[in-house]
Amino acid sequence: MRLPLALGFSLAFAPFVAAEPPVIKDENLAKRVAQVDEHVGPQVQELVDLYKDLHQHPELSLKEERSAALMAKALKAAGFEVTEGVGGTGVVGVLKNGDGPTVLVRTDMDALPIVEQTGLPYCSKVMTRDRTGREVGVMHACGHDVHMTCFVGVARVLTAMKDRWSGTLVMIAQPAEEIGAGARMMLADGLYKRFPKPNYCLALHSDALLEAGHIHYTEGLAMANVDTVEVLVKGKGGHGASPHQTIDPIVIAAKLVLDLQTIVGREMNPIEPGVVTVGSIHGGTKANIIPNDVKLQITVRSTKDSSRKLILEAIERKAKAAAASANAPEPEVTVVNDEFTPKLENDPALTRKLVDLFKQVLGEDKLHPRPTIMGGEDFSRYGLNGDIPVCMYYLGSVTPDRVAESKREGGKPLPGAHTDGYYPLPEPTIKTGVKTMSLAVLSLMGK
């Protein structure tokens, strides 16, 4: 249901009262934080305006031309050496500032095929056609507009504070995170050969269920392996009034959907997480026509390579068994390799270093451990299977009153990421993102 405009406006701009910052005992850190604050403050309104512009002009995966141009322009203005068109629409900015480590900071740029229903004054009204030719709405329902805005703010802060750090800063704006392809494409296009290879990789991500000004973090395994599997169930079409003269692929597909649910429940170790979700099923054109085939699209989530292998093999086995039980042709089972996303494992030592820093800067009550979730994130690829320490942390984005309401018995739940009702509270979310990421980089490269 679409929120009325007045309601959306009221919720979006509910008063946000920031808590008093903690007293920082480390004198050098206190000076560094004060300097960062001095550079963040004057640009907040401009960043909020940039955020709203990005929110109103979302672009689907592999089509991020406008967003990429804005990121490239911002990096050039900040003094970076900028290369565009890396891995499609990817942007790479390099700022060399003497001897020291190389730190990579990533933002993603793509939006989702969702019709926005927030009722915000600056909501997206973009409609376009996806890769299959379907007309779809487009919405930043995963916070990539926040990520890009923080990215620009961080570039400006760190350029202004060049006297406080040494080393090489590599800032990349990545396409196609939502389809698990962008990181792979940028790496394949020579990200670590054409540009300085990092010693550390950092990223932040909006958290749709956490209060603005707070941070979620995960040491070690943070997100799951993600696979996409497509199954084409084959049959023999005919008249709906004469099913005995057909092989009905819809019935086979229906059986298969139920059979797939037994993989996690009956074939996997109960203490190992796994997900098998049929997110799309298409077949037939009319009530009285039995089609020749039905197509299923399945998302698979796992946290171990052995679990991943088990699930993928079981899907193919069960698809073939369902077809054989109806004397149908063998189905086509395809693992879409170019959409595979490996699990994200945050480097424990790097994560602890940043968490300790953020606790001093924001207060211990603002940092919260987050358990492993079954979502996916191709930021994991930049770690090269553990060769480079990586850390992604999660940026609270919701007003305190909405969080409190969602926790009240019978309260209204918060719309999660990838839903048509998610929206962040811009100013405090962006300020926290720019401040924490700037300080994270300085903690690794600071003089």
pLDDT band at 11 (very low <50, low <70, confident <90, very high): very low
Residue 12 has pLDDT above 70, yes or no: no
Question: Could you tell me if 301 and 347 lie in one domain?
Answer: no
CATH number of the domain within which 171 lies: 3.40.630.10
- Tell me which of 337 and 259 has the higher pLDDT: 259
- The tally of domains found in the chain comes to 2
Question: Could you tell me if 105 and 201 lie in one domain?
Answer: yes
Half-sphere exposure of 414 (CA within 13 A, CB side): 23
User: Are the C-beta atoms of 134 and 415 separated by less than 8 Å?
Assistant: no
Q: Supply the pLDDT for residue 237.
A: 97
Among 339, 357, 376, residue at a domain's last position: 339
CA-to-CA distance for 20 and 150, rounded, in angstroms? Answer: 22
Question: Could you tell me if 204 and 256 lie in one domain?
Answer: no
Question: Could you tell me if 108 and 203 lie in one domain?
Answer: yes
Instruction: Tell me what the mean pLDDT of segment 272-288 comes to.
Output: 96
Among 339, 364, 391, residue at a domain's last position: 339
Question: Could you tell me if 153 and 237 lie in one domain?
Answer: no
Instruction: Tell me what the mean pLDDT of segment 182-206 comes to.
Output: 98
* End-to-end C-alpha distance for the chain, whole angstroms: 53
Question: Could you tell me if 161 and 66 lie in one domain?
Answer: yes
Q: Supply the pLDDT for residue 16.
A: 64
Residue 22 has pLDDT above 90, yes or no: no
Residue 402 has pLDDT above 90, yes or no: yes
Question: Could you tell me if 201 and 347 lie in one domain?
Answer: yes
CATH number of the domain within which 281 lies: 3.30.70.360
Among 292, 314, 339, residue at a domain's last position: 339
Instruction: Tell me what the mean pLDDT of segment 101-105 comes to.
Output: 98
CA-to-CA distance for 347 and 390, rounded, in angstroms? Answer: 6
Instruction: Tell me what the mean pLDDT of segment 324-349 comes to.
Output: 96
Residue 77 has pLDDT above 50, yes or no: yes
Question: Could you tell me if 381 and 290 lie in one domain?
Answer: no
Residue 5 has pLDDT above 80, yes or no: no
Question: Could you tell me if 216 and 250 lie in one domain?
Answer: no
Q: What percent of the chain has pLDDT over 90?
A: 92
Q: How many other CB atoms are there within 10 angstroms of residue 282's CB atom?
A: 11
Question: Could you tell me if 283 and 171 lie in one domain?
Answer: no
Q: Supply the pLDDT for residue 13.
A: 47
Instruction: Tell me what the mean pLDDT of segment 158-177 comes to.
Output: 97
For the chain, give the mean pLDDT. 94
Residue 1 has pLDDT above 80, yes or no: no
pLDDT band at 9 (very low <50, low <70, confident <90, very high): very low
Least confident of 5-14, 39-48, 151-160, 198-207: 5-14
Residue 420 has pLDDT above 70, yes or no: yes
> For residue 198, which phi and psi values (nearest 5 degrees)?
-80, 155
Q: Supply the pLDDT for residue 311.
A: 98
For the stretch 231-277, pLDDT in tens is: 999 999 999 999 999 999 999 999 999 999 999 999 999 999 999 99
Question: Could you tell me if 172 and 238 lie in one domain?
Answer: no
Range of the domain at 187: 5-223+343-445
Q: Supply the pLDDT for residue 339.
A: 87
Instruction: Tell me what the mean pLDDT of segment 350-364 comes to.
Output: 98
Residue 14 has pLDDT above 70, yes or no: no
Question: Could you tell me if 300 and 425 lie in one domain?
Answer: no
For the stretch 246-255, pLDDT in tens is: 999 999 999 9
Instruction: Tell me what the mean pLDDT of segment 176-203 comes to.
Output: 97
